[in-house]
Amino acid sequence: MTSYQDKAVWELCRQGFHGVAAEAEEAWSKGEDYAPEEPLPLARGIMELIRIANWESQAQTA
């Protein structure tokens, strides 16, 4: 996983979204994008980390 993916997982865990963090980590480990299945009360900064982590995931598989 990339540094932004690690940061996103860490921030999700810090906010108490351990299940979401595990789902994100699994998706990124497979080279897939991650998007929460339901809207979550996440700060813009965490959403930006997820967006960058998804971009990095796409760049690694290209």
pTM: 0.86
What are residue 2's phi and psi, to 5 degrees?
A: -85, 170
- Comparing CA positions, the residue from 17, 7, 19, 9 lying closest to residue 41 is 17
Q: Tell me how far apart the alpha carbons of residues 41 and 47 are, in angstroms, rounded to a whole number.
A: 10
Domains of the chain: which residue ranges? 3-61
| CA–CA distance, 54 with 33 (Å, rounded to integer) | 5
pLDDT at 56 over 90: no
Report pLDDT digits (tens) over 13-30: 999 999 999 999 999 999
* DSSP assignment of 23-48: HHHHHHHTT-----SS-----HHHHH
Confidence at 12, pLDDT banded by 50, 70, 90: very high
pLDDT above 90 for 62: no
